[in-house]
């Protein structure tokens, strides 16, 4: 069921809820920068079938959620959105946050409200990360902002060149969820350009000291699911994370880069299922 939530400063945050009236737990999925809630659709269905209520949301400025009129894409705004959405869930949710969604979750639970989530699953994101990988992702996101794409096929070719390890889809319908067609007929990424070009864009990834302290402040159970071929989270970053959070569970997903759920969805789902069963 599609549902609208009220986020920070009244922004509409759009989501999909898979309800289960008998569920004792909820799982809230927060995607990475430049993605939409549809990145989680298969995972949300799998977890729902386990007996959970699940919810996927478009983060502010992404997908069908509102663009902020002032261009407020600060990490604090994303974190406040997640807290407000969590408060509308039937029970305090277990949050699964990838990249941007993971950093926003760290700040939400580590700085703003330590009681906002029941547990946290970080998907290929840690307080310290390879900044060369960060720059690579930002460069890819910004490369086609001005001109967009003439067709879905052109966009698919660009994505395939950026992620050669991922098997190209035979059907491009899923790609439509990450693109919007403008008045001229060209396809553009389905997010506000101010997300990476504005003056209030997220910058917490460049402040590892802040994120390290935030993670140390988190009192709820934490898991890290990493893509083994990640360009952001190195093995050294994983070792440091384990020192920061000795009680954290860790899963390494083979065949996956930074976009773990999209690269190897079945293996990712297996890791998430295992963690959720461990939490019970």
- Please give the structure tokens belonging to residue 213: 């302290």
Neighbours of 136 (CB within 10 A): 15
* Tokens at 82, concatenated: 């997640």
- Kindly report, residue by residue over 161-179, the tens digit of the pLDDT: 988 877 777 788 878 888 9
Q: What is the pLDDT of residue 166?
A: 74
Strand 222-227 to strand 187-189: parallel, antiparallel, or no bridges (unpaired)? unpaired
CA angle 224, 62, 241 (to 5 degrees): 15
For the question of whether the overall pTM of this predicted structure is more than 0.85, the answer is: yes
Q: Which residues pair with 251 in a beta bridge?
A: 225
- DSSP assignment of 149-189 equals BSSHHHHHHHHHHH-TTSPPPS--GGGGGGEEE-TTS-EEE
Q: Which letter does DSSP use for residue 126 in this model?
A: -
How big is the chain, counted in residues? 280
Cβ atoms of residues 64 and 85 within 8 Å: no
- The CA distances from residue 79 to 7, 193, 211, in Å, are 10, 20, 13
Q: Give me the tens of pLDDT residue by residue for the chain, a chain 280 residues long.
A: 999 999 999 999 999 999 987 778 999 999 999 999 999 999 999 999 999 999 999 999 999 999 999 999 999 999 999 999 999 999 999 999 999 999 999 999 999 999 999 999 999 999 999 989 888 999 999 989 989 999 999 999 999 898 887 777 778 887 888 899 999 999 999 999 999 998 898 876 678 899 999 999 999 999 999 999 998 999 999 999 999 999 999 999 988 888 898 888 999 999 999 999 999 8
Residue 56, sorted as left (phi over 0), alpha (psi -120 to 50) or beta, turns out to be beta
Distance CA 189, CA 177 (A): 9
Distance between CA atoms of residues 160 and 187, nearest Å: 17
Q: Quick one: which of 202, 147, 176, 207 has its CA closest to 30?
A: 202
């Amino acid at each position: 069921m599609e549902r609208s939530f009220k986020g920070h400063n009244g922004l509409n945050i759009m989501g999909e809820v898979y309800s289960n009236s008998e569920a004792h737990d909820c799982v809230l999925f927060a995607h990475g920068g430049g993605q939409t809630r549809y990145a989680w659709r298969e995972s949300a269905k799998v977890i729902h079938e386990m007996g959970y209520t699940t919810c996927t949301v478009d983060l502010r400025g992404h997908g069908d959620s509102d663009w902020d009129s002032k261009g407020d894409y600060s990490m604090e705004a994303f974190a406040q959105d997640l807290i407000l959405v969590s408060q509308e869930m039937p029970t305090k949710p277990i949050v699964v946050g990838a990249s941007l969604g993971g950093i926003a979750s760290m700040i939400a639970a580590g700085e703003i409200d330590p009681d906002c989530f029941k547990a946290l699953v970080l998907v290929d994101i840690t307080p310290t990360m390879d900044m060369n990988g960060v720059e690579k992702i930002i460069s890819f996101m910004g490369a086609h902002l001005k001109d967009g794409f003439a067709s879905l096929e052109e966009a698919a070719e660009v994505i395939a060149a950026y992620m050669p390890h991922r098997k190209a889809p035979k059907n491009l319908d899923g790609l439509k969820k990450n693109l919007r067609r403008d008045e001229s007929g060209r396809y553009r990424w389905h997010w506000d350009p101010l997300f990476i070009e504005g003056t209030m864009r997220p910058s917490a990834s460049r402040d590892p000291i802040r994120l390290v302290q935030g993670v140390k402040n988190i009192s709820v159970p934490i898991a890290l699911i990493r893509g083994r071929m990640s360009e952001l989270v190195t093995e050294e970053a994983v070792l440091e994370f384990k020192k920061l959070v000795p009680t954290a569970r860790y899963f390494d997903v083979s065949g996956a880069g930074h976009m773990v759920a999209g690269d190897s969805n079945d293996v990712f789902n297996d890791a998430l299922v295992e963690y959720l069963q461990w939490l019970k």
